[in-house]
Amino acid sequence: MTNIVVVGNGMVGYKFCEKLLTRPGLAKNNASETDGGRFILTVFGEEPRPAYDRVHLSAYFSGTSADDLAMAPAEWYADNGINLRTSECITHIDRDARIITTHTGETVSYDILVLATGSAPFVPPVPGVQKDGIFVYRTIEDLEAITAWGDQATKAVVIGGGLLGLEAAKAAMDMGLETHVVEFAPRLMPRQLDTAGADMLRQKMEALGIRIHLSKSTVEFEGYNRVTGLRFADDTLLEADMVIISAGIKPRDELARQAGLEVGPRGGIVVNDLLQTSDPSIFAIGECALHGSMIYGLVAPGYEMADIVATEVASVITANDATGGKTFTGFDMSTKLKLIGVDVASFGEPFCEQIPHRTLVYEDKLAGVYKRLNITEDGKHLLGGILVGEAESYNILLQTSKNRIVLPPTPEDLLLPPRKGDAASTSSGVMSLPNEALICSCEGISKGDICSAVTDKELSDVAAIKKCTKAGTGCGGCVPMLNDLLTETLKAQGKIVRKVLCEHFDHTRQELYDLIRINGETTYSDVIRRYGKGHGCEVCKPAVASILASVHNQLIAQQAVIQDTNDRYLANIQRGGTYSVVPRVAGGEITAEKLIALGVVAKKYDLYCKITGGQRIDLFGARVDQLPYIWEELIEAGFESGHAYGKALRTVKSCVGFTWCRFGVQDSVGFAVEVEERYKGLRAPHKLKGGVSGCVRECAEAQGKDFGIIATEKGWNLYVCGNGGAKPQHAQLLASDIDRETCVRYLDRFLMFYVKTAEPLTRTATWLNKLEGGMDYLKSVVIDDVLGLNAQFEAEMEHIVQTYQCEWKSVVENEDLRNQYRHFVNVDEVDSTLAFVPDGRGQKRPVDW
């Protein structure tokens, strides 16, 4: 019987246990030889809970619970015969006797000892660091303490502009705190990004409201018992009532030092290629291990170490010396993350400081995108690169680099945004990778493993791949590539790949749309009874509701049982639990009387007022029970719903055009009003925005909209499929120098084609990117009528126009619907927890969370 002791129950310690149990003959560990057991496995963890996912720790602030983050429940350890000891600290190792001692004085013997003690946050020895309000960002307990303190704080400073520091900044921002990041280096993420990439990231962070302070050295934390600010070496002061330190890590090697194991000059337990320490019976894995003078701070190399040691330990247990020759020879530190909604990635050799190379750079400051590729001097191979703001090509670029795939004759094409209609390039590219290409670095799963699993076990979705191979269950960065491999493997088998709506419908959205249009179902219950199964889910319910509204143009509030909060109450729910009211202001044109009416309503109901980017006035802070009364007064003043809550037409922005502007050549306001009045209420797979500019100066920013119309001397140019937001994209020219009637006719066809064929929650830009044939095909449909459906498109749009109803007015005039607008179903009381504070600018805002 072999006694195995693991010290440390983090992600890597857990992974060692999991990997050991997958070895032949060790699938079930019974701690008794008479029961067939061959080893005793005891795991010690300092924290009070089993291992949890530290990679996604920040999700705790957005509602993910500690149980959700757990790698496995305590029952998993028990079911597999593992003796899990939480809340226990190992204080001593007796190598001669092969005994460890816990903090309670208990001793446990071992034959093999695995140190998975991980790392601790590095806390700089700055005077005052012990003050209240100063935290590290490492464990769930740390996050609980940060959350509790954040309730009374207003201004947080994060020390450290690396990966974890920016995650901590996101957490502080999510708590509603004014957030600052202080970095000692002259740029953010200095180990992953070059100066240009870091500058782009900084701009994006600052645009989100996070203040960045670079080249700053903290010399003192000010305050008496609790922190009040940071004093820097340049004698400047940054006030703060909360500080989160994320300035790096230091390996937990104190046990190894006590036991006389070899450690590195700057810390870390020295290991060989088998992860053995200077004592062959003791292994070290994860962030405590120093291999080749390198500490690996990512989970993927830790998992690789766990796998290698599991193989070695299994060979000892089974008395089998055949280890397969697998050793640890270093690990690629490529990484892709989404930091506060911003894609950031680096791979291969991001800097190439000592390697001859050529550098290709793509930079779009307007869109906030920076890409750098380092290629060999002969231009044949990719060495590495950096991606900021857009990293969809990360996986294929990483594999191109790792597998020494020969680059195309024009490697600069790899930097450019994907061409319209070229959506298949990534998926087909992944199939050109060799079978040994490592797709999931966290779990060490190759392309061949995944394709074989899809083929041999007849897997049909990514969830099944995850369950079967564990690929995609670590950081999740490889999931898009898993989807591409699944699709292409199924195609290679001659199987039809259909993106059905969800598990409750064996139909695509387009198929359901056509079925409902032809057969006339008007409720979700009818649709699922006839075409689906089960009771539905959060994916198919809103999608079907949107289809019903698109086809029949009926009041979506009548489908309230299957709608999200915004559609149910025809208003956007906001922070604090109140709602915003956005009346339609077609083309941004409004009379003085209507302006006065908005002011009267806002004052009466004490609403916060904000002019939106779509040339409307947003009124915030309405209670749900107040909504019908507010709408009633607005309707009386001539307003109607602006559909700001729906997947529908929002606004058609306009400049003043030739009626006032000396540069204008056409009546942009009149045309914008006409177009918005025509398409108001049109329900679509995603929200729609338009713009009309009176000349090429483009003051309405029409080329950044789902459809944009720009005046010319001869008529109008029509652009389609642009959008702003997180991934801006310019619209493309559909037709030029056309008259107003033709422009509207083309818009009818384009919008109905999009409504009928796009997948749920797909913007027009993404829809066009995936449309086979791209803009050329779209022109042939809309202008040349290659499908022969334009007459139908125009008739369907005319039906939408003729059956339009203001959803607010319909609720106000329907007593049953109006009665649904209450906080509680059984009493008429209002929500007493709603609270506001002055914002310092003459208005109000919700209290901090």
Separation CA 428–CA 489 (nearest Å): 10
Q: Which residue has the tokens 């387009």?
A: 510
Separation CA 239–CA 218 (nearest Å): 12
Task: Determine contact, residues 833/847, Cβ cutoff 8 Å.
Answer: no
Separation CA 487–CA 73 (nearest Å): 33
For residue 541, CA distances in Å to 254, 488, 501 come to 55, 29, 10
Separation CA 710–CA 150 (nearest Å): 49
Task: Determine contact, residues 221/128, Cβ cutoff 8 Å.
Answer: yes
Q: Which residue has the tokens 């009926």?
A: 554
Extended strands (E) in 506-627: 572-573, 579-581, 608-611, 617-622
Q: Do the bridges between strand 107-109 and strand 99-102 make them parallel or antiparallel, or are there none, so unpaired?
A: antiparallel
Separation CA 603–CA 585 (nearest Å): 19
Task: Determine contact, residues 40/1, Cβ cutoff 8 Å.
Answer: yes
Surface-to-core class of residue 377, CB atoms within 10 Å of its CB (0-12 exposed, 13-18 middle, 19+ buried):
exposed
For the chain, the helix, strand and coil percentages under 3-state DSSP, each to the nearest 5: 35, 20, 45
Task: Determine contact, residues 678/744, Cβ cutoff 8 Å.
Answer: yes
Separation CA 476–CA 87 (nearest Å): 29
Separation CA 229–CA 214 (nearest Å): 17
Task: Determine contact, residues 652/692, Cβ cutoff 8 Å.
Answer: yes
Element (H, E) at 13: helix 11-21
The answer to whether the annotation marks 743 as part of a ligand binding site is no
Task: Determine contact, residues 219/229, Cβ cutoff 8 Å.
Answer: no
Close Cβ partners of 564 (under 8 Å, ≥ 6 residues apart)? 542
Q: Tokens at residue 380, please?
A: 């044949």
The answer to whether the annotation marks 655 as part of a ligand binding site is yes
Separation CA 41–CA 310 (nearest Å): 12
The answer to whether the annotation marks 699 as part of a ligand binding site is yes
Close Cβ partners of 79 (under 8 Å, ≥ 6 residues apart)? none
Surface-to-core class of residue 596, CB atoms within 10 Å of its CB (0-12 exposed, 13-18 middle, 19+ buried):
exposed
Element (H, E) at 651: strand 649-654
Task: Determine contact, residues 580/622, Cβ cutoff 8 Å.
Answer: yes
The answer to whether the annotation marks 475 as part of a ligand binding site is no
Angle at alpha carbon of residue 752, lines to 749 and 754, rounded to 5°? 105
Q: For the chain, how many residues are written?
A: 849
Q: Tokens at residue 568, please?
A: 């149910």
Task: Determine contact, residues 246/165, Cβ cutoff 8 Å.
Answer: yes
In angstroms, how far apart are the furthest CA atoms of the chain? 96
Q: Name the 3-class secondary structure at 452.
A: helix
Separation CA 144–CA 149 (nearest Å): 9
Surface-to-core class of residue 589, CB atoms within 10 Å of its CB (0-12 exposed, 13-18 middle, 19+ buried):
middle
Task: Determine contact, residues 568/578, Cβ cutoff 8 Å.
Answer: no
Binding residues for [4Fe-4S] cluster: 655, 661, 695, 699
Binding residues: 655, 661, 695, 699
Binding residues for siroheme: 699
